[in-house]
Amino acid sequence: MYDNPARLVRGQEDLMITSTTTTRPYRLRWVVASVVLAANMVDLLDATIVNVAAPSIHSDLGGGDSSIQWLSAGYTIAFAVLLIAGARLGDILGRRRLFLVGSAGFTLVSAACAVAPTIGVLIALRALQGAFGALMIPQGFGLLKQVFDDDEFDRATGMFGPVTGMAMLAAPILAGGLVDADLWGTGWRLVFLINLPIGALMLPLAVRSLPRGASHPGVKLDIVGVVLAGLALVAITYPLIQGQPDGWPAWAFGLLAAGVILLVAFLFWERRRKHDPLIEPALLANRTYLSGIAVALALFGAFGGLLLCISLYGQLGEGWSPIHAGLTLTPMVVGMVLGMVGSMVLVKRLGRHLLHIGILLIAAGAVALALVLTGARTASTWDLVPGLVLLGLGVGASIGQLFRFILTSVTMNEVGSASGVLEAVQQLSTALGVAVLGTVFFSAFNSHIPTHALQVTAWACLVPLAAAFALVFRLPMQPREEQAQ
């Protein structure tokens, strides 16, 4: 439910690609920009829209409490694992080809999600949807760099901020409205069917307009790295979601330990790999960059997990309709947009202290939610508004500028790999936040009144926020652009 600044930065990895081989501009360049923009918008919608639709899906298809978490986590884990591989495959096979495969697959799997007969099938299809998204999204800014000169490239990428803001504002309302509309008896299935007209419009335009960039078959995909990373993330996330409903058996702790070992093995493999690694080895020795990764993990995890639990509280605890739950999130989204706008104005003056202020605002929002729920047996939308506004302001102020600070410590030839890893970390941390805070929420929800469940979850998210606040001190005082002035 937030834009990803790394996607804007990833275009820098294509600085060696000229926008055109002559002075004549690419005729369909603005059509290319529209196609890439539509792909990013549909990914943003699908990554967040299920948060509002999940209770209705659970009511219709059944499954345990953990199935609600997997509807979100399955998508984001697959997206995170395959994201860097998708960027590398774009280099090997050509960005146009990978974009077309990713967008066609994403659209077809969306249709399959809409007719899923069971919750298990839907979760598997959500993971496949995330995998196709990971093939599609990394190609976008490389394609833009091929068709625009530097001045027009800035204008093209400048459209992403406003459009993303509108998508963020519309996503929860759209999800609630589609589920409540129940057109032709489709119910929640309409949130996936909405992708079909977008895909039907986007694909022909992509075939007609995308440039035929050269492939680089000499570049190799680090298959061992992809497998190790994938196994590690699944081994860590699965017990965090399934452990609580199964009573925390011994296998859950064993699988967590195995996940940590696999993650260490992945990092060791990447450091030793000399040719075409998934992650530039120098990044793994960059303490400032690694500290930034830790900040992103804590910050996105706290926000992503709490966001899901707020939506679940409204529908499962208070019995709100999906549209009511979606509209309840509107003050937070408005706060996010205002926070992002303010951060662009204040970042030069405040430097990394802007990140501290943003984290404190998120924490204040969580505390406000916890306090208004203390001792209460029920809470209305209006009771949640002050906390939601503070959450939104803090997320907009901190996440809106975080990636600029993290990437300050990397060289220009590392920025492509570094921003790709950050984008994957954003997806991964959201999945982990959903797993951990979702488990906290359902543990309290099943044994106490709903207000207590959200209250405990709000207090719990202060732990990763405190870690993020401390780690920000390890980031540079100013982001790259301000240092250069």
Asked whether 296 and 402 are in contact (CB, 8 A), the reply is yes
Least confident range of 250-254, 327-331, 402-406: 402-406
Higher model confidence: residue 274 or residue 187?
A: 187
Confidence of residue 451 (pLDDT cuts 50, 70, 90): very high
Instruction: Read off the pLDDT of each residue in 30-37 and give the average, rounded to a whole number.
Output: 88
Entry pTM: 0.81
**How high is the pLDDT of residue 164?**
66
The token duo for 31 is 């059509």
CA 420 to centroid of chain Cα atoms: 12
232 pLDDT higher than 70:
yes
> What is the reported pLDDT for 391?
95
Q: Give the separation between CA 473 and CA 16, rounded to whole angstroms.
A: 34
* Residue 415 pLDDT grade (very low, low, confident, very high; cuts 50, 70, 90): low
- Residues 336-348, mean pLDDT to the nearest whole number: 88
Does residue 198 carry a pLDDT above 50?
Answer: yes
What pLDDT is recorded for position 161? 63
- Ranges of beta strands (E only) in 39-155 are none
* Residue 395 near residue 334 (C-beta atoms within 8 A): no
Amino acid at 124: A
Longest alpha-carbon distance in the chain: 70
- Residue 484's pLDDT is 45
483 pLDDT above the threshold of 70? no
Mean pLDDT of the chain: 84
Instruction: Provide mean pLDDT across the span 456-460.
Output: 95
**pLDDT the model gives residue 174:** 82
Tell me: pLDDT of 386 over 80.
yes
Per the CB < 8 A criterion, the answer to whether 413 and 341 are in contact is no
SS3 content of the chain, % helix, strand, coil (to 5): 80, 0, 20
pLDDT level of residue 242 (50, 70, 90 thresholds) = confident
Per-residue model confidence (pLDDT) at position 333 = 86
Angle, CA 46 vertex, CA 45 and CA 52 arms, to 5° = 85
Q: How many CA atoms lie within 13 A of 419 on its CB side?
A: 25
pLDDT of 109 strictly over 70? yes
**Span of 7-11, 109-113, 365-369, 463-467 with lowest mean pLDDT:** 7-11
C-alpha distances in Å from residue 59, one per residue of 3, 187, 188, 363: 30, 11, 10, 32
pLDDT at 216: 66
pLDDT (0 to 100) of residue 18: 41
Burial (CB count <10 Å: 0-12, 13-18, 19+), residue 482: middle
The mean per-residue pLDDT over the stretch 100-120 comes to: 94
Give percent of the chain above pLDDT 70.
89
DSSP track, 278-341: SS-GGGGG-HHHHHHHHHHHHHHHHHHHHHHHHHHIIIIIS---HHHHHHHTHHHHHHHHHHHH
Q: What gap in Å lies between CA 411 and CA 80, rounded to an integer? A: 23
For the chain, state the CA radius of gyration. 21
Tell me what the mean pLDDT of segment 8-13 comes to: 41
- Angle subtended at Cα 75 by Cα 315 and Cα 35, rounded to the nearest 5 degrees: 105
User: Residue 116 pLDDT more than 90?
Assistant: yes
C-beta atoms surrounding 264 within 10 Å: 12
How confident is the model over 269-294, as pLDDT tens digits?
A: 988 887 778 788 888 888 888 999 99
Question: Which two three-digit tokens encode residue 244?
Answer: 């609580």
pLDDT at 416: 64
| Class of residue 204 by CB neighbours under 10 A (exposed 0-12, middle 13-18, buried 19+) | exposed
State residue 258's pLDDT score.
95
Stretch among 153-162, 316-325, 430-439 having the lowest mean pLDDT: 153-162
Q: Coil, strand or helix: which one is 38?
A: helix
* Rounded average pLDDT over 366-379: 93
Encode 326-391 in three state secondary structure. Answer: HHHCHHHHHHHHHHHHHHHHHHHHHCCHHHHHHHHHHHHHHHHHHHHHCCCCCCCHHHHHHHHHHH
pLDDT at 162 > cutoff 70: no
